Structure 1
């Protein structure tokens, strides 16, 4: 685990496209485009669910992650985790939480520890998801190096989704990449 934490931040500098323009991926679309909590869905398919935090720190928002709601250079709390089902890594997640969004009861989002951000978000009645994008991730990217460190064999491009959420009009962004062997690749829908 220590080696994994040394890899932080992994980052996700990929070409995100609107979910509306996503290719038809029979096995994956049901997972990529699912509007509900990925954490809740993963928990339905396993006995033991675990969040392993790779790291969390404040940094400036980079150009490839900036948008109309989270600006280039804005100070954001970056959090990267791996979600496990029955001790098998299924998802790498990277969250950007602008410091201006971490006010009021949202301050607690900066102190989640091993708790899933998705679980907290989807229990908040003020949550709304506005933008969903998807990306195909080539084996040359660092997230695939992470997969290899997790003893996962990367034999194909990976897929991920990125969502822009708002809680009480405060933006935050969550990107999730399905790691090799994740149920999203194995299950026929």
Structure 2
């Protein structure tokens, strides 16, 4: 599936400005930021200043399954919209640091999705799976289609989040997690949209 046309490399617009509803129920055209975008400065939460507000931290620091949290927050009115799935390969200092030189140079399976709650885009997500990881049961990620990645990952008790960094996108925040499952890495970035934090008609905002 081809990616939606996004901004030129190196330019990261306000994420909410890239969302447009398409004809049909709960279909949105979006630009999903890439983990490797040069505009993103991924750092541990202790190194970020100014710090995100408590409402943002509620989501950024949640150690559990984001899928489960969003399903609960939406009272079950939740869906995954796939934006693109394709091979990606390129140089990224952040991925080099995260995965090591050998793994970071590999081709990776790229999956971009929108997580929609109550007919509103709440989260943009980008997943990268190194080719070596696809030779394990993580290869099932290529066949998820519109099923949530979190439900697949957190169904395995051996899942381990070895690192989590956060970054500001200007109007909002994202987090990037390095997971290990079946002794293989998978990188997942989740960009939380203001609609999730602020709430919308019929849905109260997250308590501070």
Q: Quick check: TM above 0.5? A: yes
Q: Which runs of 5+ in 1 are unaligned?
A: 139-156
- Structure 2 gap ranges (5+): 7-30, 200-204
Q: Which residue of 1 aligns with 2:9?
A: none
Q: Separation in 1 of the partners of 2:78 and 2:160?
A: 25
- The residue number in structure 1 matching 2:72 is 44
TM-score (structure 2 length as normaliser) = 0.74
- 1:61–1:119: structure 2 CA closer, same or farther, 3 Å change rule? farther
Alignment root-mean-square deviation, CA: 2.3
| SS class of match (1:43) | helix
Verify: 1:167 aligned to 2:181, yes or no.
yes
Give 1:72 deviation, angstroms: 3.6
For residues 17-166 of structure 1, the aligned pairs below 5 Å read: 17-22=43-48, 23=51, 25-46=53-74, 47-66=76-95, 67-69=97-99, 71-138=103-170, 157-166=171-180
Helix, strand or coil for the counterpart of 1:62? coil
- Which structure would you say has the larger RCO, counting Cα contacts within 8 Å and 6 or more residues apart? 1
- Structure 2 CA distance, aligned partners of 1:72 and 1:3? 23
Name the stretch that deviates more: 96-105 or 69-78: 69-78
Aligned to 1:147: none
Equivalent residue, structure 2, for 1:187: 206
Change (3 A) 1:26 1:104: closer
Separation of aligned partners in 2, 1:174 and 1:105: 17
What is the number of residues matched between the two proteins? 170
Whether contact under 8 Å (2:124, 2:192) holds in the other structure is yes
State TM-score, norm by structure 1. 0.81
